Amino acid sequence: MAVTPTDLSAALVMTPVAPADWLVVLPPAWCLLTGALLLMLRKSLHLQAWLAVPALAVLVLIDAALLAHVATNGPATMVMGRWLPPFGIAFTADLTGVLFALAGAVVALAGAVHALTDIDGRGRRYGFYPFLLLLMAGVSGAFLTGDIFNLYVWFEVLLISSFGLITLGSEPRQIDGAIKYAFLNLIATTLFLVTTGYLYGIFGTLNMADIAVKAAAARAELPLMTLATLYLLAFGMKAAAFPVNFWLPASYHTPRVVVSALFAGLLTKVGIYALLRTLIMLFPLEREELSFVIALAGAATMILGALGAIGQSDIRRLLGYAVISGIGVMLAGLSLGSPGGIGGAIFYALHSMIVMTALYMAAGLAGRLAGSFDLNLLGGLYTRSALFSALSLVLFFAVSGLPPFSGFWPKVMVAKAAMDIGAWWLVVVVLLTGFLTTIAFGRVFALAYWRPAADALPDETIPPSALVPLAALTALTVVFGLFPDPLLSLVQHAAQGLADPQAYIGSVFPGRT
């Protein structure tokens, strides 16, 4: 067959790829590869953990190396199959994405170690570790991709693995929670797809850098407001923002505690990341128009989450509301749109990933020590383990936003950014939320830890492999609370990179800046 060769070199990457650029695609590829390997070996139960924990440790190292690369050299891009953007699907790692990816990998590693004792043989036979790695593939892919349809695909990858995780064990309670979780999340991602369809119809491209350029050039005559509003609704639903948050309190307390911990750390934050990416980088002026709506939704989310937390007697359901309350702070930061507000939102998201995961782990251990998750029955945890109680207390302070822990600084950033534009009511709401959260968690400490046990506690001890990840995550909040400067400067650079995406665009289209 005679093939007439056509010169395609103008549309192809012709230069050899630098090894450092591989870091951009390695996180999802590595997770898929190891996840598939673990799925093949799902019969050998003891091998699972021994492969999954090192695999996730390697993922943390890859993400850390990528962070070092991006922090020194700026955003990095790799395209699939040699096709130049916007034709090839591009993976672009900028500071925001890499910070989220690294925090996610740390959380997943902690969860995998914690699961050594929390997930029994039955849970492993249902494939906890393979699903965790596939979930991480979805999460890392979502944080690093530079193509909006590809973002949708990674959303679905993480959604389908989360379905596997949430039904782990198939108890009636889990099935009930999974039904609500699955249907509402599926509708949210479908809405995301609808919006992406419109976006493609308007711009004729799916590459985010390309969209940013085209949106800035032809803002006046394009119906961008529709896109921004639809994305706000779709990702707001994923992030569990009021008034589309009802799937979260209905489902997060049903799976195994370590699964709840991973969900609390990873899933809603992907929604927040997508909101930052679309509303700050692609449609900044439209976000400006919507800012009051976002601020109202954020304030309602904060207050509703805090009040919901006060009204719960099951500590896992209480934590579900605490996750929602944190989402409100991030939305408030997003609504302000100033570098301080965006930086605060990013910082709070990173803080929330670590602290919420650790809190669910603590709740799981409390339940194991005291034999119940109900505040009416819990008690005597302080006499059981002083170290565990101290760690929990630090986490309670951190989630309430009290100094000197990591929750304090992002709240200061958001509150200051709100003061700068005179939005005093938002400052009041942030402070009121902190106060209400302190009440909710202060009561948990008083009742579950301080109060003497009503009757004899079950004869349980905390295994070291469950305590070490909890202590490590708690140590992270203390370190970032006491020495916030390095992270603050990274977060501020990340916020600038989102608000002014010249470096991002330059990384995707080297000739165009």
Q: Which residue has the tokens 């005679």?
A: 2
Q: Between residue 253 and residue 282, which ones bind another protein under the rule CB under 8 A? A: 253-254
222 touches another protein by CB under 8 A? no
Closest among 179, 296, 181, 177 to 232, alpha carbons compared: 296
Q: What is the 3-state secondary structure (H, E, C) of 461-482?
A: CCCHHHHHHHHHHHHHHHHHHH
163 touches another protein by CB under 8 A? yes
315 within 8 A of 364, measured Cβ to Cβ: no
Q: Which C-beta is closer to another protein: that of 320 or that of 469?
A: 320
Closest among 324, 335, 305 to 414, alpha carbons compared: 335
Q: Which C-beta is closer to another protein: that of 375 or that of 495?
A: 375
190 touches another protein by CB under 8 A? yes
Closest among 289, 334, 299 to 495, alpha carbons compared: 334
44 touches another protein by CB under 8 A? no
State how far the Cα of 236 lies from the Cα of 238, in Å rounded to an integer: 5
**Chain center to CA of 391:** 22
Exactly one of 57, 71, 179, 296 binds another protein (CB under 8 A); that residue is 179
216 touches another protein by CB under 8 A? no
Q: How far is the CB of 127 from another protein (least distance, A)?
A: 8
> Cβ–Cβ contacts within 10 Å for residue 501, how many?
25
65 touches another protein by CB under 8 A? no
State how far the Cα of 38 lies from the Cα of 44, in Å rounded to an integer: 9
Encoding tokens for residue 392?
């929990």
State how far the Cα of 132 lies from the Cα of 134, in Å rounded to an integer: 6
Q: How far is the CB of 45 from another protein (least distance, A)?
A: 14
Q: How far is the CB of 148 from another protein (least distance, A)?
A: 11
245 touches another protein by CB under 8 A? no
Q: Between residue 309 and residue 368, which ones bind another protein under the rule CB under 8 A? A: 310-314
From 100-108, 153-161, 331-339, 397-405, give the range in contact with another protein by CB under 8 A: 153-161
From 67-75, 216-224, 250-258, 399-407, give the range in contact with another protein by CB under 8 A: 250-258
Q: How far is the CB of 173 from another protein (least distance, A)?
A: 5
Exactly one of 187, 296, 412, 462 binds another protein (CB under 8 A); that residue is 187
Residues 6+ apart with CB under 8 A from 115: 49, 123, 128, 129, 132, 258
6 touches another protein by CB under 8 A? yes
From 373-381, 390-398, 407-415, 482-490, give the range in contact with another protein by CB under 8 A: 373-381
Q: Between residue 424 and residue 463, which ones bind another protein under the rule CB under 8 A? A: 443, 446-447, 451
Give the bridge partners for 78, in sequence order.
91
SS3 category, 92 = strand
37 touches another protein by CB under 8 A? yes
Pairing of strands 90-93, 76-79: antiparallel
* Calculated CA dihedral for residues 366, 370, 374, 378, nearest 10 degrees: -100
489 touches another protein by CB under 8 A? no
Exactly one of 22, 226, 432, 468 binds another protein (CB under 8 A); that residue is 22
16 touches another protein by CB under 8 A? yes
State how far the Cα of 420 lies from the Cα of 287, in Å rounded to an integer: 18
416 touches another protein by CB under 8 A? no
From 151-159, 266-274, 322-330, 465-473, give the range in contact with another protein by CB under 8 A: 151-159
178 touches another protein by CB under 8 A? yes
Exactly one of 66, 79, 116, 361 binds another protein (CB under 8 A); that residue is 79
Q: Which C-beta is closer to another protein: that of 161 or that of 385?
A: 161
> Cβ–Cβ contacts within 10 Å for residue 486, how many?
10
Q: Which C-beta is closer to another protein: that of 408 or that of 441?
A: 441
Cα angle, residue 435 at apex, residues 431 and 437 outer, rounded to 5°: 115
Exactly one of 51, 65, 117, 149 binds another protein (CB under 8 A); that residue is 149
Q: How far is the CB of 194 from another protein (least distance, A)?
A: 5
Size of the site for another protein (CB under 8 A): 79
Exactly one of 51, 64, 193, 390 binds another protein (CB under 8 A); that residue is 193
State how far the Cα of 505 lies from the Cα of 453, in Å rounded to an integer: 60
From 49-57, 196-204, 215-223, 468-476, give the range in contact with another protein by CB under 8 A: 196-204
Helix (H) or strand (E) holding 443: helix 424-444
Closest among 196, 135, 200 to 164, alpha carbons compared: 135
State how far the Cα of 71 lies from the Cα of 91, in Å rounded to an integer: 17
